Amino acid sequence: MKKIVIVDDEPNIVMTLEYTFKKHNFEVYIARDGSEALEILESVIPDVVMLDIMMPKVDGYQTLKLIKENNKLRNTKVVFLTAKNKDSDIEKGLKLGADRYLTKPFSVKKIVSEINELISS
């Protein structure tokens, strides 16, 4: 079973994504911020991490940096899903090592398609 860690502090988004990915046969783990995500990632090596940028405690940029610095996690696929949609934001996210950069509001169908494509590549 494919594993995904959803890292977002917005309950409605988490609920929507959790439901969607479970329906598509993913094992889903939830974190409300970057520090919680890093705790989960210590024990679960997922196929993909879906990561918001603007979160309390540890933001998405810092979380991505820590994932890429960790030998166990550095090859984990990371997708930003964020409201930050300026070209400079997208460029920064991809430069830091995100595999995809998706913006809110989002299409559930597009997200599932992007994640499946990313995992199978």
**Domain segments of the chain: what residues?**
2-120
Topology classification of domain 2-120? Rossmann fold (3.40.50)
Angle at 99 between CA 29 and CA 23, to 5 degrees: 35
pLDDT of residue 101: 97
Scanning the chain, the segments in alpha helix (DSSP H) are: 11-23, 34-43, 60-69, 87-95, 108-120
pLDDT of residue 121: 78
pTM for the full model?
A: 0.95
The Cα 14–Cα 24 span in angstroms is 15
Mean pLDDT by 10 residues, the chain (121 residues): 96 97 97 95 94 94 95 94 95 96 94 94 78
pLDDT of residue 23: 97
